[in-house]
Amino acid sequence: MTQTVARAALDDLTTAILQRGEGPIPGDVYLPAAPRNILWGRLPCRADAPVLTISPGTSVTIDTVSHEGILEDQGRDPVAYFGGHGVSAEAVLRDAVEIAARPGHDPAIDGPHVVTGPIHVEGAQPGDLLKITVERLVPRVPYGVISNRHGRGALPGELPRRSRTVSVFCPIEERVGGLVGRLPVVDGGERCVEFPLAPFLGLMGVAVNSDDRPHSVPPGSHGGNIDINLLVEGSVLYLPVQVPGALAYVGDPHFAQGDGEVALTALEASLRATLRFDVVGLNDAVAAFGEVKGPLARAGGYLIPTGLDVDLNEAMRACVRSAISLIRARWGLDEHLAYAYLSAATDFDISQVVDVVCGVHARIRESDFEAVTRDRWR
């Protein structure tokens, strides 16, 4: 892809390069991904000071930065890396350049993800749920990268060949139906394979109740790198608060991801996210969902419980247990009837199999319980 083509693709998009502080900022508050506001490869813990304090109900526009193009195996120079794919220096995020130049990231012990936050939400206490509503997700650049590295992915030992890093550059373009990613059939060939984009944040979480910052890769009860591709605009994520103020954070922006994320990464690319943060008190949370022990989402008419474990089979079992518990608490079904319903009517999807801890999420159709809801809450 030539530089001329890259600029043409950029000019055709409805959004320009969203450098720090430029372009639409629809939230009540803006949090840029300046080096002072991010962690690289680690997640916040209770010992971290917030970079922003907000009241519940505040909408925050947050810049996120993809790790692709800044990592050590890509030269840790995003201008040079993306320049090699025909992207002009002006079309590379200055945030990425500054983060790559900052010392302190060690790929031997740190994860790859750039994490914006933490954000202190006033009034949030352990036992509550932090409710994050995804209001808007806008690409900051018209390109991304899909990588297979470290002998990881769904086929370790098979791909990548010869244990090398494979990073596939993927420009995006606008079509009548929306934005698409474009890939060639062979390296250097015409980009004739197109797939639709569905942007979401792979990483959303709350701080752990520890003085040690967790590695950014494995997800857990705190959320983190959950990689659930249903968390698009309009979706909601509930997370059990572990420390006062929640200390929320986001990162790992994706333009598109298939369930499983089999090659190791999705189409990784920087997003500007506008999120609303609310607090669901303990009593209201229990009344609505029962005991929530891990991430719980709501999207597209579904309630979405999760299961996490290093063993995919155990992650599946954990998700089934969470789904049964949710149905019993919310709609009052007997245990064996909840189990029967799930077997007949609910899809259990693999979120990802590449983040050390595997993830499974269920899609429980809320409309199936409309009559129960009316009767139960009358």
How confident is residue 213, by pLDDT bands cut at 50, 70 and 90? very high
Does the structure show a pLDDT above 60 at 2?
no
Q: Which residues contact 228 (CB under 8 A, 6 or more apart)?
A: 200, 295, 297, 304, 306, 351, 359, 361
Q: What is the DSSP letter of 34?
A: -
- Secondary-structure class of domain 301-376 per CATH: alpha beta
Do domains 3-280 and 301-376 share one topology? The answer is: no
Does the structure show a pLDDT above 90 at 161?
no
Q: Which amino acid is at 84?
A: G
Cβ atoms of residues 219 and 113 within 8 Å? no
Prediction pTM value: 0.94
Domain residues of the chain, as ranges?
3-280, 301-376
Assign 3-state DSSP to the chain and report helix, strand, coil percentages, each to 5: 25, 35, 40
Q: In the predicted model, what is the mean pLDDT of residues 282-291?
A: 97
| Cα–Cα distance list, 181 to 33, 89, 168, 174, 269 (Å) | 25, 21, 12, 9, 11
| Cα–Cα distance list, 120 to 164, 175, 286 (Å) | 41, 39, 23
CATH of domain 3-280: 2.60.120.580
Q: What is the DSSP letter of 311?
A: S
**Helix runs in the chain, H state only:** 3-12, 78-83, 94-101, 282-289, 312-331, 335-345, 370-376
Q: In the predicted model, what is the mean pLDDT of residues 242-269?
A: 98
Does the structure show a pLDDT above 50 at 8?
no
How confident is residue 152, by pLDDT bands cut at 50, 70 and 90? confident
